Amino acid sequence: MRAVVQRVSRARVTVEGRVTGEIGAGLMILLGVGREDSAAVAASLAEKAANLRIFEDDQGKMNRSLLEVKGAALVVSQFTLYASTKKGHRPSWSAAARPEIAQPVFDALVAALTAELGKPVPTGEFGAHMRIALVNDGPVTIWLDSRTRE
């Protein structure tokens, strides 16, 4: 599982002109599901994201988590995080899970993050063409990959 986690002051995702998810301050999470990922991997990544200490404390240091600041999270599926550009100029997404596998794992991450935060986690619309607007705060952008555990 791969995720791009961005600290935002606000974020919104729309599908065909309608807002499907919107948050104020918190985390925008773009999530790619790999062929070998599972609900257990999703739960682990949700816990990691909720506890990343990337929000400023009273001294201006990144020392507080999303849980501590009581922030929100917006999660959007993005299979293109599994792009391989090793050959030629056209990316291959063969390492990404097929939709029938990826959607339940995506849903498991959203459920786990909802449980971690104690509040609903808005999302985009799985498999749809989405438009995302966000204000990256910092900028702070973190890459999470369940295979490397970095």
Let me know: does 43 contact 89? Beta carbons within 8 Å.
no
Q: Residue 148: its pLDDT value, please?
A: 80
- In the set 14, 20, 55, 80, the catalytic residue is 80
**Residue in this structure with the two tokens 């909802």, named with its chain if needed:** 114
Clarify whether 80 is annotated catalytic: yes
- In the set 6, 79, 106, 123, the catalytic residue is 79
Q: Domain 2-143 maps to which CATH number in 2.60.120.470, 3.40.190.10, 3.50.80.10, 3.60.110.10?
A: 3.50.80.10
- In the set 6, 78, 106, 123, the catalytic residue is 78
Q: So where are the chain's domains?
A: 2-143
Clarify whether 79 is annotated catalytic: yes
Q: Residue 94: its pLDDT value, please?
A: 92
pLDDT, averaged in runs of 10, over the chain (150 residues): 98 97 98 96 96 97 97 96 92 94 97 97 95 97 84
